[in-house]
């Protein structure tokens, strides 16, 4: 089964959800396709991000460019995202251009020119628009689209990454809800 996971590496909730998905993938035979989703685009562009958050937003957008350039190289994207997440969300450290570059190198990605290649912005926008059209409006990162589902879903938003048994139960529920034409939303407040 193919799952497309649209994500912004800046978001800690998205990171946790990705760790849930990678835990479930071997249990349910899931082939994950990683695609860019930009919180900066969602909020009107990097230039509209408040000044104090602009460096992390710019670093995230650089990472999204590299992800867009690697389309079809799912293992490389997965390694890159894992390296970013371990260095930021796993270490309680803000994302930076230096972390993005170090993550690319640690993931075995030799060509890092795409990080600064503004011609890839159109590919990031296209992927973002695809995710938004799939699951929007009123969504953010991540968007999960399960092969055969009529629409994508925002989330699930995961707190602590669950053990394998609970992770599979959550997957089974999300997959069932995603297949429904009439389902829209389940939500509860964060503790």
pLDDT confidence of residue 93? 97
Q: The tokens of 118 are what?
A: 């503004």
DSSP secondary structure letters along 4-62: EEEE-TT-HHHHHHHHHHHHHHHHHT-EEEEEE--HHHHTT-GGGS-GGGHHHHHHHHH
The pLDDT mean for the chain works out to 95
Structure tokens, 155? 């989330």
Band the pLDDT of 44: cuts 50, 70, 90: confident
Residue 191: predicted pLDDT? 76
Q: Name which of 103, 102, 66, 59 is nearest 82 in CA terms.
A: 103
- Model confidence at 20, pLDDT cuts 50, 70, 90, reads very high
Nearby residues of 149 by Cβ (< 8 Å), 6 or more positions away: 178, 179
Q: Tell me which DSSP letter residue 181 carries.
A: S
Q: Quick check: 28 pLDDT over 80?
A: yes
C-alpha to C-alpha distance for 32 and 4, rounded to whole angstroms: 6
Please tell me the predicted confidence (pLDDT) of residue 31: 98
Q: Dig out the tokens for 113 from the structure.
A: 């020119």
Residues 30, 1: Cα–Cα separation, whole Å: 5
The arrangement of secondary structure in 2-178, i.e. its CATH architecture, is 3-Layer(aba) Sandwich (3.40)
All structural domains of the chain with their residue ranges: 2-178
pLDDT band at 40 (very low <50, low <70, confident <90, very high): very high
Q: What is the pLDDT of residue 61?
A: 96
Contact (Cβ atoms closer than 8 angstroms) between residue 38 and residue 130: no
Average pLDDT over residues 121-128: 98
146 three-class SS: strand
Residue 46 has pLDDT above 80, yes or no: no
End-to-end CA distance of the chain: 33
């Amino acid at each position: 089964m193919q799952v497309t996971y649209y994500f912004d590496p800046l978001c800690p909730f998205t990171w946790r959800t990705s760790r849930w998905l990678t835990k479930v993938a071997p249990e349910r035979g899931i082939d994950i396709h990683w695609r860019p989703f930009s919180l900066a685009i969602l909020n009107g562009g990097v230039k509209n991000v408040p000044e104090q958050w602009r460096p992390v937003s710019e670093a995230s957008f650089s990472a999204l460019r590299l992800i867009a350039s690697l389309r079809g190289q799912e293992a490389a994207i997965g390694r890159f995202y894992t390296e970013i997440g371990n260095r930021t969300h796993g270490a309680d450290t803000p994302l930076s251009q230096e972390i993005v570059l170090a993550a690319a190198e640690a993931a075995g990605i030799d060509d890092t020119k795409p990080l600064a290649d503004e011609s890839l912005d159109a590919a990031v926008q296209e992927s973002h628009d695809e995710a938004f059209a799939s699951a929007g409006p009123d969504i953010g990162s991540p968007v999960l689209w399960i092969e055969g589902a009529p629409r994508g879903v925002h989330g699930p938003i995961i707190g602590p990454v669950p053990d394998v048994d609970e992770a599979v139960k959550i997957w089974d529920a999300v997959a069932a809800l995603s297949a429904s034409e009439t389902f829209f939303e389940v939500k509860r407040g964060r503790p």
